[in-house]
Structure 1
């Protein structure tokens, strides 16, 4: 869409130039983009508030005194929001012949988590992540001295099951290859019944000499929401500037100077007369 503006250069003469205005569709898209950017910024601020509250809740759970692991009656209601990283304790007897190795990369290097069922007095089972072993200790025969036979008490952090597999890698139970701690799949592969729908990361205090290295749980919640919010708001601000220049910046536009052609019949008179100088028009 355009409109024509007439500019008078001197008495009796005038010329026209086209002034292009943005289309209705472009205007609508710019306004929608501005609203979306503001909404994204507000959403990131809200996410930051939620993330800070989550971090605070987890910190309180981790450092609270250990409580008994949830009873079977409460298993259907266990959730990440209410229970993950709770400091718990559980006692029973390890079923070492049913252990499962899950690939892991830790501060100790690459290797495996050792997940072993713990049979409790009521015959229910809880999978215990006893800790980390390097690849050279993958075979259970290399760490028999670290496998207690009798009653043990384990303290650690309650963790939610990790279904299906790890990043870009699916568990392959038929080949005994595990990339995530999928409780239900591990229980099915090992023929286990009455298994809790969560597992427990054993802490360093539950570590046995010669056994897996416990206490390596990493609790990390990325919190980049403020940076994201500032980015969205900055983009919205730049877009608002573009809208202002397009629709409301006429008063601040640069002035264009149109001079008489050299040698014009009345050029000298115009330079020295009452209307001397240049013709000024907005551009």
Structure 2
């Protein structure tokens, strides 16, 4: 009897574990649904001025994908090409410093160029004052795709604003960059290719854990009703 009770206790613990995992996934589902709703609201909002130096310390992941705008002048001959894979195939993001009328600098992801169009002559660089609108993206330090940035070789795999600024000798820049919106013309670089997509499989995970809990409970009930297995001679 004690042996059966110990087995029952262990089986009950497993059942409760399945239920706990299901509840956790329900909580994750609520969090992810709220996150998606907040991001969609930011994408639909009108652009607000890009955060200046006084606001940099307070930026957090909650600020990602806000629609922002900035005015200033692009630095000529200071483009940084960052490896990219987009719906248009492999190529590069073109990152260019923009200095605002207030004297501070931020990086603009002006858009995508294919691998065979990486020459500076192949892409547009507006001269004089410009206005840019797009999505605020936080700096991506280190690298991406299991590859580390190699500034000394001019090989960039992530948009690390501090590292790019240091390589260009810009000093302190904003800890974010702007993914620029698409322009009306078709000239390179091509903006507006930011993919905003969040995987949300938590409902399926929750149903799986609860189904396992139900199956475990049915098996446990059958085992209990069956009683002890008959002993051999």
Q: Which residue in the other structure is 1:102 paired with? A: 82
Task: Quote the residue 1:40 is aligned against.
Answer: 21
Specify which of 182, 185, 188 is matched with residue 163 of structure 2: 185
Partner of 1:217: 194
| Structure-2 change in CA distance of 1:163 and 1:100 (3 Å) | same
Matched residue, 2:147: 169
1:121 alignment partner in structure 2: 101
1:194 Cα deviation from its structure 2 partner: 2.7
Q: Given the alignment of the two structures, is residue 56 of structure 1 paired with residue 37 of structure 2, yes or no?
A: yes
TM-score (norm 2): 0.91
CA offsets 1:28-87 (integer angstroms, 9 cap, x no match): 443322222111111111111111111111111111111111121011001111x11111
Structure 1 residues without counterparts, runs of 5 or longer: 3-20, 257-283
1:178 Cα deviation (Å)?
1.0
Whether contact under 8 Å (1:147, 1:211) holds in the other structure is no
Distance in 1, matches of 2:138 and 2:131, equals 20
CA RMSD of aligned residues (A): 2.1
Verify the 8 A CA contact 2:162 2:172 in the aligned structure 1. Answer: no
**Structure 2 unaligned spans of 5+:** none
Q: Where in structure 2 are the equivalents of 1:66-77 lying within 5 Å? A: 66-77=47-58
**Post-superposition shift, 1:209?**
5.4
Which of the two has greater strand per residue? 1
1:1-283 → structure 2 map (5 Å cutoff): 22=4, 24=6, 26-81=7-62, 83-143=63-123, 146-205=124-183, 210-247=187-224, 249-250=225-226
Higher relative contact order (CA 8 A, sep 6+): 2
Aligned pairs, how many? 229
Partners of 2:185 and 2:169 lie apart in 1 by 26
Matched-pair contact (CA < 8 Å) for 2:122–2:188: no
SS at match of 2:175: strand
Tell me how far 1:22 sits from its aligned partner: 4.7
1:196 counterpart SS class: coil
Q: Which structure has the larger Rg over C-alpha atoms? A: 1
